[in-house]
Amino acid sequence: MPTRLFEAVAILQTTCGENCRTVLPVSTSPQAYCDAASARCFGRSAPAAHPRLILAASVLASSLAFVDGSVVNVALPAIGRAFSADAGALQWTVNAYLLPLSAILLLGGAAGDRLGRRRLLLWGTVLFAVASLVCALAPHLALLLAARFLQGVGSAMLMPNSLAILGQTFTEERKGRAVGIWAAASAVAGALGPVLGGWLVDLGSWRAIFLINLPIAAVAVVLALRYIPEDRAERREPLDVLGAALVTTGLGLLTWVLTLAGAPAGPSGITGLMALGAIGLLLLFVIVEIRRGDRALVPMNLFSAPTVVGLNLVTLLLYGALGALLVLMPYVLIEALRYSAAQAAAALLPLPIVMALVSPLAGSLAERVGPRTPIAVGSIAVGLGMVLTLRIHASTGYWTGLLPAVIVVALGLSAAVAPLTTAVLGDVQLRYTGAASGLNSAVARTGGLLATAMVGSVFAARGVGLLRSFHVTMAIGAVVCWSAALGAWALVRGARPQLRANDP
């Protein structure tokens, strides 16, 4: 994409200490903002001969993850019909991708530090492309889900390392602009991908939504091989593979439990045993991380600041409600309101457009008044937008029914998203900024993962029952958003955050 297309992206600049001057982009994608903040943690290691082509490789590779994270939502009805899939299978079509991405995103960044960021970017991009081809050719649902899991692993490898490469390629003066272009391109890809995917589905081929990843991945690999400098190993500590395995298994089991509990049959005795197993694995993960100290996948010292705990709780709640909305809305529009797949995707386009226009103003306000008020007010507004979705019925028009809800949600996200990440990074010690940013990004995706696992009743419903189940879910989502607002008021400091120096 032409660089100038994204030069208008607003940049929020914060000073975070003598050696950590960085710039944070206001992105049209909430998750892109969380991810982009981590680029502040990587210093420039060597001059780059072709920085623009390195930026292009990074943008193309990361756009794979953002496109795939949204385009599948509009194809769920078609996939369900193709494989005669039940509600649980549709949930796993989304969560098979989100699970590894949520659980091992931090491991992907740490592996890049030790094995080489260029190498991990290439491996992740190739794995994503191969998995996409398998998705497109999958003859049955089990193979599709396995390939979706591998796509998530590839995303967890390439995303943090694409940003780390930008951090080490550009000078401090140009890093903010480069990361802003990355975030804007990711947001545009995430917004336009579903429209293209919906058009392909309407042409009769949901499989084509996976094939569009192949040329993008091929160009990204060629550019990376040609222009990104060879890796230089920076760290020799062993990877926290045990921690990654425990959290992935624990989250996977918890997701399975929530999927079964949300099914029409409801929970059973086996579900309760599985829930205990999931809790046990996650508690064991915490114990392992405490023992590993600063070498852990998630250093427990991060949680010594109450604000960090509160902000990640707010992130989990807000992104969980948003994840349910973004997964269910296209499905309901297609199945209940008889939209085409392309129309359902286009119906949500005002969300990124409004965020692109409003986020710079909201970010500037947060810089002046502190993060607490914008986060709380934004969360309340997202909840109000979900309440407005209760007006959607089979005969509801787009302009008077759906559009007001989308705009109110977009306004709320514009107010809340940027201060969330800025505040998380502002209340931790300097040596933990990378881990804090990565954790916040992983928590955001975990919110979507758990929310998708709990909406089986909507996927299982038909006819009038589908809209009724959707309305109940949106009402619960509104309460979750308002709970996030209460959490922000109770746990987030009102003053503008400043990064804490390292302890001696």
User: Closest Cα to residue 423, out of 128, 34, 93?
Assistant: 34
Task: Say yes or no to pLDDT of 289 above 80.
Answer: yes
**Predicted local confidence at residue 176, as pLDDT:** 67
Q: Secondary structure of 324-376 in the HEC alphabet?
A: HHHHHHHHHHHHCCCCCHHHHHHHCCHHHHHHHHHHHHHHHHHHHHCCHHHHH
List Cα–Cα distances, 277 to 71, 248, 251, 298, 395, in angstroms.
Answer: 33, 13, 11, 21, 45
Mean pLDDT of all residues in 118-140:
96
**Predicted local confidence at residue 322, as pLDDT:** 94
**Predicted local confidence at residue 14, as pLDDT:** 33
pLDDT tens column, 459-497 = 999 888 999 999 999 999 999 999 999 999 988 876 554
Task: Say yes or no to pLDDT of 265 above 80.
Answer: no
Sorting pLDDT into bands at 50, 70 and 90, what band is 30?
Answer: low
The DSSP letter of residue 240 is: -
Joined tokens for residue 246: 């425990």
**Predicted local confidence at residue 18, as pLDDT:** 33
List Cα–Cα distances, 284 to 140, 273, 299, 382, in angstroms.
Answer: 35, 17, 14, 35
H or E element in which residue 276 lies: helix 269-292
Task: Say yes or no to pLDDT of 27 above 70.
Answer: no
Mean pLDDT of all residues in 124-140:
97
Joined tokens for residue 54: 């390195």
Phi/psi at 32 (5° precision): -60, -35
Q: Residue 465 carries which side chain, given as an amino acid letter? A: G
pLDDT tens column, 150-207 = 999 999 999 888 888 887 787 766 776 777 777 777 777 877 888 888 999 998 889 9
Sorting pLDDT into bands at 50, 70 and 90, what band is 23?
Answer: very low
Joined tokens for residue 459: 């996927």
Taking the C-alpha atoms of residue 451 and residue 327, their distance in angstroms, rounded to an integer, is: 9
Task: Say yes or no to pLDDT of 49 above 70.
Answer: yes
Is the C-alpha dihedral spanning 28, 355, 375, 448 positive or negative? negative
**Predicted local confidence at residue 29, as pLDDT:** 58
pTM of the model as a whole:
0.85
Taking the C-alpha atoms of residue 209 and residue 187, their distance in angstroms, rounded to an integer, is: 18
Q: Name the one residue in this structure whose structure tokens are 């990877």.
A: 239
Share of the chain above pLDDT 90, in %: 49
Determine the 3-state secondary structure of 58 from DSSP.
helix
User: Closest Cα to residue 409, out of 326, 471, 487, 470?
Assistant: 326
Determine the 3-state secondary structure of 24 from DSSP.
strand
Count of CA atoms in the C-beta half-sphere (13 A) of 159: 33
**Predicted local confidence at residue 437, as pLDDT:** 75
**Predicted local confidence at residue 139, as pLDDT:** 96
Taking the C-alpha atoms of residue 334 and residue 429, their distance in angstroms, rounded to an integer, is: 47
Share of the chain above pLDDT 70, in %: 84
Mean pLDDT of all residues in 94-104:
92
**Predicted local confidence at residue 496, as pLDDT:** 53
List Cα–Cα distances, 446 to 328, 381, 389, 451, 496, in angstroms.
Answer: 17, 22, 24, 8, 27
Sorting pLDDT into bands at 50, 70 and 90, what band is 378?
Answer: very high
Task: Say yes or no to pLDDT of 1 above 60.
Answer: no
Of residues 20 and 222, more confidence is placed in 222
Mean pLDDT of all residues in 267-291:
90
Domains delineated in the chain: 3-240+297-491 (1.20.1250.20)
Mean predicted lDDT score pLDDT of the chain:
83
pLDDT tens column, 446-459 = 999 999 999 998 99
pLDDT tens column, 305-361 = 778 888 899 999 999 999 999 999 999 999 999 999 999 999 999 998 888 788 777
Q: How many Cβ atoms are within 10 Å of 280's Cβ, its own excluded?
A: 13
Taking the C-alpha atoms of residue 63 and residue 193, their distance in angstroms, rounded to an integer, is: 9
Rounded-to-5 percentages of helix, strand, coil across the chain: 80, 0, 20
| Cβ burial 136-156 (10 Å sphere, 16+ → b, else e) | bebeebeebbebbbbbbbbbb
**Predicted local confidence at residue 47, as pLDDT:** 56
- Note whether 385 and 408 are within 8 A (CB): yes
